[in-house]
Structure formats: C-alpha cells, structure tokens
Amino acid sequence: MNKTAMSSAWHHSRRGRGHRHKEQGRVTRDRVEEQKAEDSVPHGTCMTMCPAYELRQREAQNRLHRFEMVADTERDHLPRADVSRAVKEYSRPAAGKDSTRASNLRPPSVLLKTVCHLVDDIATSSTFQPWAEVYSFVFDRLRSVRQDMIIQRVSGTDCVAVLEKSVRFLLYASYRLCGQHLQYFDPRINDTHLQECLSWLLESYRDGKHQHQEEFQALSLLYNLGSTEAIQHVLELPERIRSSPAVRLALAVSRAHMERNPVRLLHLAQRLDFIQVCAVHRHLLPCRTDLLLLYSHGHSSRNCRYPLQRLARLLFLKDTLAAELCQVYGVNVTGEWVNFSKSSFTDAASGDLQCRRMHEPLDDEQWNCSASSVIHGCA
C-alpha cells in the first residue's frame, strides 16, 4: 500500500473514532440529564390522606368539612378533625407557595387509598346527604389527588386505578346531577375534568396491558359521540381491543350517530349497561328529538295512528315519559295512540324540558346502590 493510501485510511479511522467518541459522549450527557430530571421529581412522604400541617391549619381556621369532623363535635366552636376521614383539599398554585414539599405530598399507594375512601365511605354512603354536597366534596378531593400525581409524575398501575375510579365517578355524577341548578352542579366544569381524566387515562394505557382498558376505550367513544378524533383513536387501537364486545358496541353506536340514524342508535342504547348509559345519556335527548321529527314527516296523516307503547320502546323510554316528550314537541297523544303531523311538530322545545326528566326515576337507596357498583366497575 502506498503512502497516500495509508494516510487516507489513517485519517478515515481517526474520523470514525472521533464520531464514536462524540456519539458516546452525547448518550452519556442524555443519561445524566435524564437522571437529573428524575432526581428533581419530588417524592411524597405523607402517609395520611391529609398532611399534618394542613390538618392543623384548617382545624384552627374552622375550615373542616363536616365529612371530616370527629362525631359529635360538629357544633363546637372549633370542631375537631378526624384524622381517618380528613382529606387534603385542592389548592391553587400561587407565587411563593412551595407545592413540592415531600411532607405535603402523598405517595401513589396513599393516593389510591384516598380515592377508595372517597368512593367507599363518602360517594356511595347512604349516611351523607344531599348527594350534591357529596359530589362537591369528592370532586374537590379527587382534584387534589390528581394534583399530587402531576407533581410527582405518577404513572403505572396506581395511576391507572385512580384515573379509572375518577372517570367512573364523574360519569355517574353527570347522570345523577343532570339538570341540577348551577349552584350545585356545573356540567361544563364536570365535562372539562372528565375529558382531562379520560385523556390522561388513555395515554397511560399505552404503557402496557390493563384489565379495564376495553371498558374505558368504549366509554370515551360513547361520551364523545360525533368526535372524529375519538373515532380515529379507537380505529388505531390493536385488534384485540377493537374486537372486544364493549368497543364493538360503542363503534356501532358511534356509526349510527354519524349516519343520523336515531332508530338504530336508540335500539343499540338498550344494550348498554348503566355506566355506558351515563356516558351516552347527554346525546340521547337530541337523538329522540330527531326520531320524533323523522316520524312526524314519515307518518304525517290525519287518519294515521301510531301505538304509544311501540313508540316508547323505540325512544327507549317508559310510556309516560314518551307521551310527555311528544307533547313538548307538539306531537298529539290521545290515550294510547300518537297522531303525527309535520305541521304541528316544533323544534323549539319548551325551556323547562330537561334531559334529567327523561331519566329512569330512582329513589335514594337505588341511587346509592348504583353508585357503589358503577364507581367500583361492577355495573
């Protein structure tokens, strides 16, 4: 080999070693940065549901909720806090306020224990009433739980379990408190937090297989009927999830909604379980309106009578509620018969028509039983 060739080979070899050293150096720096980022994440050391400092402060300032007080001290000048029932309240981030102090943060296991307390001992209890107050308390404390999770960057099975119970609670509340005065329940705020929980939960499912993934993929689609993003997300899921019964049913409901086929959608809705009805219920009243409009044009005749009982089955309602809905939209009901007329149908429904009035009426005991089974994922 001549000198020129040897010199060229030596230079190439040197450049190759230089590139390898640079690449190794870059990888090392990346690992160091990742380790620094990991070390900077705070890890909670508070092993109770409410940090001791906050508990003393709220007790001294008389800011305890009645669900957190020691029994028989509620009427005292300064009620005492029950450590086993007090839960850290949500606090907005503020300038100069250290929200990353380890003693004020609860580790993942304690956060899951807190959520179980909120569900088992508060939300599903028949002792604490009215339920609007129960919702307000649990909503705030669940928000605090998610705040601790965000600060600590919690992930894994505990994170998924917390989010699943939160989603079920918010879905159930959207159904149970539908139509309540804004002072007690704001559906937009509930929707915002529910969408955030769903988005976080679906993202967490990317880390691996989870027991209830099919259920919540279906719930997300049912809650967001008409959303192309929600449909696209489901269609990109693995085949084993797309082919599960829950997701297949949700896709069928979504397709009927996209095709503006109210008869098909309401027929499919009768196959949904309770938590799925909670997810889809906000779409049912517009769907029923479309069905009445469709039949008012298709069966418009003075001599045509349609059986009320059959129409009630199509509307997925009891006979009395179906008759009430017909009258609101100008559809004439006489006894057990309905007379459709396209000229008498009115889209401008009266202002007092509420989605809640089309719900299945339940007494307090049934509501509490349904809350327990729904939030625990047994319904």
What amino acid occupies position 102?
A
Q: What is the mean pLDDT of residues 156-160?
A: 94
The predicted pLDDT at position 352 comes to: 46
On the question of pLDDT at 223 being above 70, the answer is: yes
The widest CA-to-CA distance across the chain, in whole angstroms, is 110
137 found inside a domain: no
313 found inside a domain: yes
On the question of pLDDT at 350 being above 80, the answer is: no
**Residue spans of alpha helices (H) in the chain:** 3-40, 52-60, 108-117, 131-152, 157-176, 187-204, 213-223, 228-235, 239-242, 245-258, 262-269, 274-280, 284-298, 308-315, 319-328, 364-375
pTM above 0.75, yes or no: yes
279 found inside a domain: yes
134 found inside a domain: no
117 found inside a domain: no
22 found inside a domain: no
**Domain that includes residue 290, residue range:** 260-378
158 found inside a domain: no
Q: What is the count of structural domains for the chain?
A: 1
On the question of pLDDT at 9 being above 60, the answer is: no
Q: What is the mean pLDDT of residues 147-165?
A: 95
* ∠ CA 105-106-109, rounded to 5°: 160
